[in-house]
Amino acid sequence: MKHTIIFFLLTRELVKSQFLVNTTATSASEIFDGFVSFSIEFSSFPDFAGNNSHPNTFSDNLLENIKHLTGTKPYIRVGGNTQDYALYNASLPYALNGTFDPKRSLDYPTTIYIGPSYFESYNTWKDVKFSHGFNLGLGANTSAGWQTLLDTVPLACKALSGGKFYLWGYGNEPDLFSTAAQGPVRPPSWNESTYVWQWHNGTRTMHALLQQHCPDLAHESQYGYMAPSHGGVGNRLKAHVSWAAGLNNDRNIKLYSTHNYISGATTPGVTLQSTLLNHTVTARSINAQAAEYARILSLDPATAPPPIFGETNSLYNQGRPGLSNTFGAALWVVDFNLYAASKGFKRVHMHQGTNYRYASWQPIETNITNIGTKPPYYGNIATAAALGKHGNVEVVAVPLRYHREAAYAVYHDGILSRVVVINMRGYNTTIGGEGLIALPNPPKRGSVEYVFQLAGFERGSSVNVNVAVGGKQKVKIQRLTANGSDAITGISWDGWSYNYELDEGRPVKLGNVTTGEEVEVDGEGRVKVGVEDSSAALLVF
Ligand SMILES: *[C@@H]1O[C@H](CO)[C@@H](O)[C@H](O)[C@H]1NC(C)=O
Ligand SMILES: *[C@@H]1O[C@H](CO)[C@@H](O)[C@H](O)[C@H]1NC(C)=O
Ligand SMILES: *[C@@H]1O[C@H](CO)[C@@H](O)[C@H](O)[C@H]1NC(C)=O
Ligand SMILES: *[C@@H]1O[C@H](CO)[C@@H](O)[C@H](O)[C@H]1NC(C)=O
Ligand SMILES: *[C@@H]1O[C@H](CO)[C@@H](O)[C@H](O)[C@H]1NC(C)=O
Ligand SMILES: *[C@@H]1O[C@H](CO)[C@@H](O)[C@H](O)[C@H]1NC(C)=O
Ligand SMILES: *[C@@H]1O[C@H](CO)[C@@H](O)[C@H](O)[C@H]1NC(C)=O
Ligand SMILES: *[C@@H]1O[C@H](CO)[C@@H](O)[C@H](O)[C@H]1NC(C)=O
Ligand SMILES: *[C@@H]1O[C@H](CO)[C@@H](O)[C@H](O)[C@H]1NC(C)=O
Ligand SMILES: *[C@@H]1O[C@H](CO)[C@@H](O)[C@H](O)[C@H]1NC(C)=O
Ligand SMILES: *[C@@H]1O[C@H](CO)[C@@H](O)[C@H](O)[C@H]1NC(C)=O
Ligand SMILES: *[C@@H]1O[C@H](CO)[C@@H](O)[C@H](O)[C@H]1NC(C)=O
């Protein structure tokens, strides 16, 4: 079934209502450097980063690839549910002693001791800034937890001195402390007021410890947190209520950090097409987060810190096989990230953990998951390529017509630089959509032709500073492709593979993918591009 839909734009009115792309940015807001960033589960951090004697160079190669595209190494937030289980044991001879309790989680340990060598993992990646997440769950609830805070602030601050410090975290998803599926760590009376009280008690203690052990990091120019790190906007505790109750009265929350998942791994009705490959669903999820941030902004615009997604991914409870680990999820990553940028989020930390189904990469070999670059990583790469290296980057969502497609205009210094088109119509080439066994006769792959009218384009003018060849605007096309939305391997970005088995995650140009395509902007300022179902195209002006 081939459905070529041509949106040919006849009048300026129609253009305005549908596929107008301004050549200069109008209302977008600038994103931060390192927009493509990661969050790493506290208990998995030694796996991802390694230690002094065994640095994880595969992970570092994957982070370097992003730096190559954006000019900045991703920022790394170390935290997650397991940060609130971690206690310190000074005589533990290795980084982490984790004990699993299948009743609480099959995916990560819920009884955790860390030793001094845990902090070696902050040494292994060059040019990376880190956020270390301290334990509030047990920290303000048990004496061993409180002692852990006193013991580990000096270790963490020493590990992050010398240019590696990003921000601190204190408590992961405190909005879920009294209701967590993995076991509550607070009584039902837990509310925003008790949270704020405990936050002040802990953070003021941390500040005093920093003054004593790492005075540089206690200085106002460095000292700060990402918070409240809520699990979502629909939970019992509300971020704006904590804010109103004085959470940021010490003015040390430098980034408003919120967490987001589109749905759950085992939530009934979740499918690749209707949940992840559906722009309406992604937009709704981010819009709800933007609305909560707007409430905080309205309390006091002068002191509200900028918003980021400090932890996010597709489906909570570590993702679902056949959805979160497919090429379809890579397309979702691009849509989620660019839409977040268009709604004012300054940075996005995609959450990672060992054996997690939604992970961008598996950092070590385990008996559950092979070491390797996973499909979502290609979404991180495509996002990084779309944003590019430029200093001032803004993203505007271009409204399209259907749920299963999305487009974004990217501006550098206010001038149109790229257009991203994501065709999220599902396409399977394997039996049962499992990504394993190829269908003997796959269906014909559909393709959609998109036409964008560049508003503000003047005949003969140069759309932007990058390209003006022989009076004609040539536009370079780069593609994010795989055999289908169900593919779990064989994915490429502009013909590059970053797979572990090729060169440990360093880029390798594939011989079987067409690259180097170009199209022209016509005399009326229109540019046309065909995009196959389950793929994305980047137009580079
Ligand atoms: C283009 O700019 C106009 C005028 O500022 C605005 O109304 C319109 O929404 C913009 N279109 C896009 C796609 O950003
Ligand atoms: C701390 O580590 C030591 C050395 O491995 C071990 O003997 C001790 O049991 C640990 N303590 C706890 C509370 O796990
Ligand atoms: C460093 O990592 C290696 C490999 O995982 C491990 O065998 C070793 O015990 C670690 N060293 C410390 C001090 O934790
Ligand atoms: C690891 O933790 C478990 C559970 O608390 C404990 O029984 C065991 O002794 C610990 N091992 C070490 C080496 O500390
Ligand atoms: C802060 O919390 C700790 C641990 O719960 C507690 O021991 C301490 O007394 C508290 N500080 C104040 C000022 O109440
Ligand atoms: C810690 O929280 C748990 C769960 O609400 C509660 O049962 C326990 O009594 C608390 N412990 C302390 C010391 O407050
Ligand atoms: C939290 O609960 C306490 C005790 O019931 C109450 O005094 C306080 O007003 C509550 N705070 C909020 C923000 O609802
Ligand atoms: C996409 O999501 C919207 C909103 O939930 C829904 O109405 C629509 O049917 C979905 N479309 C597809 C193709 O799943
Ligand atoms: C898988 O590896 C874990 C951690 O090394 C180990 O505890 C577990 O027993 C292994 N499971 C199997 C089935 O080999
Ligand atoms: C792909 O396969 C999955 C799993 O069988 C199925 O749910 C989905 O509808 C298929 N998608 C398409 C576009 O055929
Ligand atoms: C993708 O499709 C091509 C052509 O049918 C096939 O040769 C290749 O093995 C497929 N790749 C994967 C990873 O299945
Ligand atoms: C191209 O080659 C790679 C690596 O051998 C493979 O995984 C992929 O499926 C191939 N793609 C196509 C379209 O044949």
* CATH 3.40.50.300 is right for the domain spanning 36-389: no
Round to whole Å and give the CA distance between 378 and 331.
Answer: 8
Q: State whether the beta carbon of 241 lies less than 6 angstroms from ligand 7.
A: yes
Which homologous superfamily is 2-28+398-540 in?
Answer: Golgi alpha-mannosidase II (2.60.40.1180)
Distance 4 CA to ligand 8 centre (A): 21
- Which parts of the chain sit beneath pLDDT 50? 1-18, 459-471
Q: Whose CA is nearest to atom 13 of ligand 2?
A: 89
Tokens of 274: 């209707």
The predicted pLDDT at position 11 comes to 29
Q: Are 347 and 308 in contact (CB under 8 A)?
A: yes
Round to whole Å and give the CA distance between 528 and 27.
Answer: 25
Q: CB-based burial of residue 50 (10 Å sphere; 0-12 exposed, 13-18 middle, 19+ buried)? A: buried
Name beta bridge partners: 509.
496
- The model's pTM is 0.95
Q: How does the average pLDDT of the chain come out, rounded?
A: 93
Round to whole Å and give the CA distance between 327 and 445.
Answer: 15
Q: Are 435 and 487 in contact (CB under 8 A)?
A: yes
Q: Are 421 and 431 in contact (CB under 8 A)?
A: no
Q: Other C-beta atoms within 10 Å of 7: how many? A: 17
Please tell me what DSSP assigns to residue 121: G
Q: State whether the beta carbon of 523 lies less than 6 angstroms from ligand 6.
A: no
The predicted pLDDT at position 16 comes to 32
C-alpha angle 438-479-476 in degrees, rounded to nearest 5: 155
Q: Give φ, ψ of 427 to 5 degrees.
A: -150, 120
Q: State whether the beta carbon of 117 lies less than 6 angstroms from ligand 3.
A: yes
Q: Whose CA is nearest to atom 2 of ligand 7?
A: 191
The predicted pLDDT at position 141 comes to 86
The predicted pLDDT at position 522 comes to 84
**Residues annotated catalytic, as ranges:** 192, 311
* Domain span(s) for CATH 3.20.20.80 in the chain: 36-389
Distance 286 CA to ligand 7 centre (A): 29
Taking the CA of residue 142 as reference, the ligand 6 atom at the shortest distance is: 13
Q: State whether the beta carbon of 92 lies less than 6 angstroms from ligand 4.
A: yes
**What is the SS3 assignment for 100?**
coil
The predicted pLDDT at position 44 comes to 99
Q: CB-based burial of residue 274 (10 Å sphere; 0-12 exposed, 13-18 middle, 19+ buried)? A: middle
Distance 382 CA to ligand 1 centre (A): 25
Name beta bridge partners: 194.
none
* Domain span(s) for CATH 2.60.40.1180 in the chain: 2-28+398-540
**What is the SS3 assignment for 196?**
helix
The predicted pLDDT at position 453 comes to 87
Q: Other C-beta atoms within 10 Å of 198: how many? A: 20
Q: Are 135 and 85 in contact (CB under 8 A)?
A: yes
Share in percent of the chain as helix, strand, coil (round to 5): 30, 25, 45
Round to whole Å and give the CA distance between 99 and 86.
Answer: 11
Q: Give pLDDT tens digits for 224-244.
A: 999 999 999 999 999 999 999
Tokens of 421: 């088109």
Distance 98 CA to ligand 2 centre (A): 12
Q: State whether the beta carbon of 201 lies less than 6 angstroms from ligand 5.
A: yes
Q: State whether the beta carbon of 443 lies less than 6 angstroms from ligand 6.
A: no
Q: Which residue has the tokens 């990672």?
A: 352
Question: With the CA atoms of 505, 509, 510 and 511 taken in that order, what torsion angle do they form, in degrees rounded to the nearest 10?
Answer: -160
Round to whole Å and give the CA distance between 169 and 75.
Answer: 14
